[in-house]
Structure 1
Amino acid sequence: MAATLLVRVVRRFPSAASDLGKALCLKTRSNSTHEGGQAAFFPADARPMLPTNTFDGQVALITGGGTGLGRAMTMMLSTLGAECIITSRKLDVLEETAREISAATGNKVHAIRCDIRDPDTVKSAVDEVQNLTGLPHVLISNAAGNFVCPSENLTPGGWRAITDTVLTGTAYLTLEVGRRLIQAKQGAAVLAISTIYSEFGSGFVAPSAAAKAGVEALYKSLASEWGRYGLRFNAIQLGPIKTKGAFSRLDPTGQFEATMLARMPTGRLGQPEELANLAAYVCSPYANWMTGSILRFDGGELVSLAGEFNDLRKVTKEQWETISNLIRKTKGS
């Protein structure tokens, strides 16, 4: 309706078209200060929101736990009492992270090398976990890979580099751990870290979008099927949280960060500790009635992108006066 009205304004008052064009020339300069603007209303809070004994006596297995978001979630779970096991392909990075987190929290953190793309390696790693600590009470599938690329330039190797880790690897590990939990009659909370574009897709990251959508479908399916065994499955769809690993492949020049900030209703990017708090809650006994859920955690980015007229928030007060005057001159339906 509003779009039709604006079009009619231009048609009925062609001499005013240039004024309207100027009014709708949506500059982003005024939004470049978002980090110091509305972001002040939405400060990040890194403090653990759950009691420090929430995960006492529980084992948490986190893939991709050596760096970035995985490290933050491991730190949070360890702080809350869990005995954590972190996995990835780089054992030296894992071991350093395990030492640092254990020293900070006073709880054990173990490092186990695992390439989740290889089912035999996954089986061996889960054997090691089971012998070391027993089966996990919490499993967080966080290991991922991504890079920006025009889809016409994707190679089979590039496609597999993402889907083998994100979808196939997550399936291998989840099913291997799940089968053993069922056999042991042990319940668990299972969480996948997804992305907001898994729901609607996105150009230039097609393998990631397809793989993340597959993971969400897998976890919703298992939530329905394996609830009878005491297993919960949920996923968190993330918006932009700046980590070195992710942004080096998704925004290598840094030119898109300002664009992301300009469209964020909260005026800032997310912080790893914020995800860690949410992940801890979803995996905790406080969320025992939550399963099969896909939670969006994006600072409002998706709704900002989805609204057809949301860019009008960039129009200044003076520009709105011009637009309003033109609209008032419009007669008829």
Structure 2
Amino acid sequence: MSNDYLNGLFSLEGQVALVAGASSGIGAEFAQALARAGADVVLCARRVDRIEELAKEIAKETGRKTLALSMDVKDAASVEAAFTDAAEQLGTPTVVCANAGVGHMVPALEETEEQWDHMLDTNLKGMWRVGKTAAKHMISAGLKGSIINTASILGLGVSNQHLSYATSKAGVVQMTRAMALEWQRYGIRVNALCPGFFVTEINEEGLNTERGLQMLKATPARRAGELAELVPPMLMLASPASSFTTGVALPVDGAHSVKLVP
């Protein structure tokens, strides 16, 4: 028997959601979940061929409208074009998951300037481009909405060989708070999810090494998170029911970020 109260509380019926970085991992999981919650979904990634099939599968499963669009978060014109196309074809996105990102592990003394620039331009400036563009379109359309940035627990604390990655994600956390502060008057909420260890294309190789497996065993949960475990907090932040929740950096990490250093 369905629970009408919960279904109504967290329904995204009538909304358009846009996921930047939807080709795999967290972004693909979010796109599917948003459609299941009732939203029409715009999937964005640099390579459209990687999201076209996923968009068709989501539409077939959920009955929602879907759209696959090219977006390179390092290119302001590309971001603007995707939001404009989304608005013209499905409607102005009022739920935006900024999820595009890169990562690598390298000792701080060995990281090159090119690696640093690539990391910060994608993970931080790219997320800034998406958030700013999303807000401008919502404000222009007179709509309230929710922006959810994918940060990391490495934006709250640090570990070895993650200098630029941790710096970029710490920037995302502070950027989220600054956006939330300024855009609350428009009814635009901005929050960040801070995942712990989840296996994605970015970290799969590293987590499957002996060192990676040891890191997982040292966490309180002693395992990586399942992508499905990120969906409920994302939907909570996306839902209009969370209309007074903004500026939050929410860890989803099995208590990893609160574990005391032994």
Q: Same fold (TM over 0.5)?
A: yes
Kindly indicate whether residue 86 of structure 2 is the aligned counterpart of residue 126 of structure 1. Answer: no
Give the distance between the partners of 2:202 and 2:159, measured in 1 at CA: 20
Gaps of 5+ in 2: none
The CA distance in 2 between the partners of 1:64 and 1:109, in whole Å, is 15
**Is the alpha carbon distance of 1:219 and 1:137 closer, same or farther for their aligned partners in structure 2, counting shifts above 3 Å?**
same
Number of matched pairs: 257
Question: Percent identity over the alignment?
Answer: 29
TM alignment of 1:21-40, pairs within 5 A: none
The separation in 1 between residues aligned to 2:138 and 2:39, in whole angstroms, is 18
Structure-to-structure mapping, 1:195-214, within 5 angstroms: 195-214=152-171
- 1:273-292 correspondence runs (5 A): 273-292=228-247
Q: Does 1:103 align with 2:60?
A: yes
Aligned-partner Cα distance in 2 for 1:307–1:147: 23
2:186 aligned partner:
229
Question: Could you tell me how far apart the structure 1 residues matched to 2:113 and 2:261 are?
Answer: 35
Matches within 5 A, 1:181-192: 181-192=138-149
Q: Unmatched 5+ residue regions in structure 1?
A: 1-48, 309-333
Supply the RMSD in Å over aligned alpha carbons.
1.8
After TM superposition, give the deviation of residue 121 of structure 1 in Å.
Answer: 1.3
- State the partner residue of 1:30: none
Identify the match of residue 62 of structure 1 among 4, 10, 19.
Answer: 19
| Mapped partners of 1:60, 1:105: distance in 2 | 14
Aligned to 1:51: 7
The TM-score, its normalising length taken from structure 1, stands at 0.73
- Kindly indicate whether structure 1 or structure 2 has the higher relative contact order, using CA contacts under 8 Å at least 6 residues apart: 1
Residue 129 of structure 1 aligns to which amino acid in structure 2?
A: A
TM-score, normalising length: structure 2: 0.92
Whether the 8 Å CA contact 1:76–1:277 is kept in 2: the answer is no
Check if 1:180 corresponds to 2:137: yes
> What corresponds to 1:87 in structure 2?
44
- Compare CA radii of gyration and give the structure with the larger one: 1
Contact 2:150 2:194 in 1 (8 A): yes
**Distance in 1 (alpha carbons) for counterparts of 2:51 and 2:202:** 15
Equivalent position amino acid for 2:231 in 1: A
Contact 1:145–1:165 at 8 Å: present in 2 too?
A: yes
The answer (yes or no) to whether the contact 1:219–1:235 under 8 Å persists in 2 is yes
1:149-186 CA distances to partner (integer Å, 9 max, x unpaired)? Answer: 11222122211221111111111111112122222221
Displacement, 1:50?
5.3
Whole-Å separation in 1 of the counterparts to 2:43 and 2:95: 12
More displaced 10-residue stretch of structure 1: 81-90 or 119-128: 119-128
Question: Is the partner of 1:191 in helix, strand or coil?
Answer: strand
